């Protein structure tokens, strides 16, 4: 067992090493200029194709860090290893101009294993947010044309270690994750004026995060029959003031080479994470049907960003989905495939010049059984529409594909030799 744990630790270290890469080149959205950027989807595998649900999902076939109480669903002989990649085609439309971009990256890496019949552990690397944009605006005043170029890069990631304990007969489970949130965001703004000798100021803001965060989860399973049950899940992440390093530097230059002035400001700005409340439930007909729904609420309105308190609005996210297996056992492979579909809605936590946007999404997916019907290759397709509530904001559309491999093996099984 300890040999396996050492190997597992190595995987987490590898995941941490590739974290800076996984946070890059995942988005071209101008909206990631604001706040912490675009918030990452925290669901894995089946949940991703079912509307991003997870609070009420409980399965021994996958890892679900959205609710750490789910870890005890694993049996006492199983080891799970899960990693996912994703790509997306995005379209942007401001009413006059249209653009499209292709992005992709490693999304997450995680593992889970039992310690005893009542205790299970999990660890992994997750994305938290993404920043990536490059666009410009142009205006003309008194015959002079000015162009402002906006560029941003970065993102935040989280390494977590979690555990869950079966309080009562595989029906009531309590879990928690301790996460280390890290990463850096860089926001740059350069003004150019069509006049010889005109000054060209460049402002660069940077934010580096290095802090711990906590997540708590509870799940209760209510049996309806030998094969049917209801699962109710609760999750909570407390608000906190982040440990950060930030700077705000403005450089003013005349012409192309002559630097005139540099103003640098570095201080202990306040940056906050909100309270996050999650509730979900699922109806499960074992090895046949799962129907699940989630609600997430985050109190971003009270969170500070660069000391400002009125930058955000509270976020509400709704999601729901279904998974259907025609026949768990049998010779027909297509009957053993897990067919999934889901919908989700969310408002944005960002305020953009007093306006905001809503996000609607629909997805489908497949869970392809491998290796004696234990391991799974999960494929999900999702369409997302970002609809702003002001005509001056950009409308975005995404077509996303996610692929994850869940390795499920009996590493702790001891074979008997006659």
Question: Confidence band (pLDDT; 50, 70, 90) for 267?
Answer: low
Per-position b or e across 391-408, b if 16+ CB within 10 A of its CB: eebbbbebebebebbbbb
Alpha carbon of residue 193 to chain centroid: 39
What length is written for the chain? 418
pLDDT number for residue 390: 86
Q: How far apart are CA 7 and CA 111, in angstroms?
A: 11
CB 269 within 8 A of CB 244: yes
3-state helix, strand and coil shares in percent for the chain, rounded to the nearest 5: 10, 60, 30
Confidence band (pLDDT; 50, 70, 90) for 414? low
What domains, with CATH codes, occur in the chain? Answer: 2-409 (2.40.160.60)
Name the phi and psi angles at 24, rounded to 5.
Answer: -105, 160
Say if residue 232's pLDDT is above 80: yes
* pLDDT tens digits, 270-308: 999 999 999 999 999 999 999 999 999 999 999 999 888
CA distance 271 to 215: 19
pTM (2 decimals)? 0.89
Predicted confidence (pLDDT) per residue in 343-388, tens digit:
999 999 999 888 899 999 999 999 999 877 789 999 999 999 999 9
Residue 137: φ, ψ to 5° = -130, 145
- The mean pLDDT value for 66-72 works out to 97
- Residue 63 is classified by DSSP as -
- 380 closest CA partner among 339, 411, 415, 326: 339
Q: State the pLDDT confidence band at 90, using cuts at 50, 70 and 90.
A: very high
Distance CA 281, CA 279 (A): 7
Residue 199: closest CA among 269, 253, 250: 253
In order, the DSSP letters of 169-226 are TTTEEEEEEEEEEEEEEEEEEEEEESSTT-EEEEEEEEEEEEEEEEEEEEEEEEESSS
Q: Which two tokens stand for residue 66?
A: 């959205």
Identify whether the C-beta of residue 127 lies closer than 8 Å to the C-beta of residue 91.
Answer: no
Of 172-181, 293-302, 358-367, 389-398, least confident by mean pLDDT is: 389-398
Residue 1 confidence class, pLDDT cut points 50, 70, 90: very low
Least confident among 152-156, 390-394, 399-403: 390-394
% of the chain surpassing 90 pLDDT: 61
Q: What is the C-alpha separation between 130 and 382, in angstroms, rounded?
A: 18
């Amino acid at each position: 067992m300890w040999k396996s744990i050492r190997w597992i630790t190595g995987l987490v270290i590898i995941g941490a090493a590739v974290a800076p890469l996984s946070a890059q080149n995942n988005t071209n959205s101008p909206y990631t200029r604001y706040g912490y950027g675009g918030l990452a989807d925290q669901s894995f595998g089946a949940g991703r194709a079912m509307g991003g649900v997870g609070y009420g999902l409980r399965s021994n076939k996958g890892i679900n860090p959205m609710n750490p109480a789910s870890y005890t669903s694993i049996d006492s002989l199983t080891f799970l290893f899960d990693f996912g990649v994703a790509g997306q085609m995005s379209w942007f439309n401001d009413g006059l101009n249209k653009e499209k971009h292709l992005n992709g990256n490693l999304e997450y890496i995680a593992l889970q294993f039992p310690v005893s019949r009542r205790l299970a552990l999990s660890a992994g690397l997750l994305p938290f947010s993404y920043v990536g944009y490059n666009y410009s605006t142009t205006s003309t005043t008194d015959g002079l044309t000015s162009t402002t170029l906006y560029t941003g890069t970065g993102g935040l990631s989280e390494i977590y270690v979690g555990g869950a304990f079966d309080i009562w007969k595989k029906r009531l489970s309590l879990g928690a994750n301790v996460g280390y949130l890290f990463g850096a965001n860089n926001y740059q703004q350069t003004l150019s004026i069509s006049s010889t000798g005109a000054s060209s100021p460049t402002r660069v803001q940077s934010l580096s995060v290095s802090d711990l965060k906590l997540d708590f989860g509870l799940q209760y399973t209510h049996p309806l029959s030998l094969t049917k049950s209801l699962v109710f899940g609760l999750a909570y992440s407390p608000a906190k003031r982040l440990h950060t390093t930030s700077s705000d530097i403005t450089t003013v230059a005349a012409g192309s080479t002559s630097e005139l002035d540099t103003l640098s400001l570095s201080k202990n700005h306040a940056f906050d994470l909100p309270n996050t409340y999650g509730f979900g439930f699922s109806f499960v007909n074992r090895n046949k049907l799962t129907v699940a729904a989630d609600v997430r609420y985050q109190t971003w309105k009270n969170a500070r960003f660069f000391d400002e308190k009125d930058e955000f609005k509270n976020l509400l996210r709704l999601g729901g989905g279904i998974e259907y297996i025609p026949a768990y056992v049998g010779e027909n492979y297509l009957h053993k495939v897990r067919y999934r579909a889901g919908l989700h809605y969310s408002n944005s936590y960002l305020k953009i010049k007093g306006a905001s946007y809503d996000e609607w999404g629909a997805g489908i997916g497949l869970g392809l059984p491998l290796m004696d019907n234990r391991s799974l290759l999960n494929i999900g397709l999702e369409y997302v529409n970002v609809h702003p509530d002001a005509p001056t904001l950009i409308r975005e559309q995404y077509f996303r594909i996610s692929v994850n491999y869940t390795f499920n093996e009996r590493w702790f099984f001891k074979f008997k030799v006659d």
